[in-house]
């Protein structure tokens, strides 16, 4: 099967949402919000005050995102790590494997104790109305790649506590070839969080050019479909790091 054949197969699916696409190697996934930490505490009322019931469902957010530069931090073994991420939709359309596709530029830099240990600038390609991911392209450590989905699954229009399922899977190729250099599988789950939000978690595992990919992202999603990032757990050079964002109440719509 040629790369163009794979493209035709994946273009038949029409997911409404593509929050999370993990990038190769040790780099972070699409960090989809400026937000942070923890739940929203209820007021300290007296014993006669009824306890607020946790939110049971929320609408899934819409794509594509326009995410300004967002900084997350982590510490491990006495070292300080920083991840700086942005996602910017581009004007107009461009051709991607035979499609007139919309695109976004995705930029990520990871530092350790102030020194850069990884940088990636990638381009994500998709259709609109409805939103449909097509793939992405980029370069990591001098290796140019193309990522193509072999299967995709949309989020439900409503995120309900207790629900879970697959999001998609695909293959990394050396750019311009049919030579596979890795794969990726992603799933999601929705859990109770607090009275204002549900907790949306995505899990991604795979390989790229011999390196393992492992990532867990937690988002709080409110009753209007706005969301904020709570934490990102990712494997960086063999060390699992938990990145958090201190921007409390920074909602993306």
At 64, list the tokens. 């594509």
| DSSP letter (8 states) at residue 116 | E
Residue 50 lies in a domain: no
Dist. CA 34–CA 164, nearest whole Å? 24
At 125, list the tokens. 């390609």
Mean pLDDT (the chain, rounded): 76
Give the pLDDT of residue 78.
93
H helix intervals, the chain:
3-10
Residue 253 lies in a domain: no
Say if residue 73's pLDDT is above 60. Answer: yes
Residue 251 lies in a domain: no
Residues 6+ apart with CB under 8 A from 112: 79, 80, 81
- Expressed as residue numbers, the domain containing 209 is 3-37+55-244
Give the pLDDT of residue 151.
82
pLDDT tens profile 159-192: 999 999 998 888 899 998 999 999 989 899 999 9
DSSP-assigned letters across all residues of 156-189: PSEEETT-EEEEEEEEEEETTS--EEEEEEEEEE
Dist. CA 146–CA 97, nearest whole Å? 10
Residue 49 lies in a domain: no
The tally of domains found in the chain comes to 1
Which of the residue ranges 22-26, 31-35, 46-50, 117-121 has the most confident prediction, judged by mean pLDDT?
A: 117-121
């Amino acid at each position: 099967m040629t790369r163009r054949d794979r493209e035709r197969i994946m273009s038949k699916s029409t997911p409404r949402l593509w929050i999370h696409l993990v990038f190769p190697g040790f780099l972070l996934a699409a960090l989809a919000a400026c937000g942070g930490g923890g739940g929203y505490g209820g007021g300290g009322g007296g014993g006669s005050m009824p306890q607020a019931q946790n939110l049971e469902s929320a609408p899934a957010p819409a794509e594509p995102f326009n995410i300004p530069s967002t900084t997350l931090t982590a510490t491990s073994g006495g070292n300080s790590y920083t991840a700086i991420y942005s996602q910017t939709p581009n004007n107009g359309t461009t051709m991607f494997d035979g499609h007139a596709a919309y695109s976004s530029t995705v930029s990520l830099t990871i530092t350790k104790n102030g020194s850069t240990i990884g940088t990636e600038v990638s381009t994500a390609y998709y259709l609109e109305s409805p939103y449909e991911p097509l793939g992405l392209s980029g370069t990591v450590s001098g290796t140019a790649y193309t990522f193509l989905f072999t299967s995709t699954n949309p989020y439900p229009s409503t995120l309900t506590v207790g629900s879970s399922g697959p999001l998609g899977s695909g293959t990394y190729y050396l750019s311009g070839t049919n030579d596979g250099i890795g794969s990726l599988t992603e799933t999601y789950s929705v859990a109770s969080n607090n009275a204002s939000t549900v907790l949306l978690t995505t899990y991604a595992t795979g390989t790229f050019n011999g390196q393992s990919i492992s990532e867990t992202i937690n988002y709080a999603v409110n009753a209007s479909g706005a969301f904020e990032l709570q934490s990102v757990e990712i494997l960086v050079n063999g060390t699992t790091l938990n990145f958090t964002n201190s921007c409390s109440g920074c909602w993306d719509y």
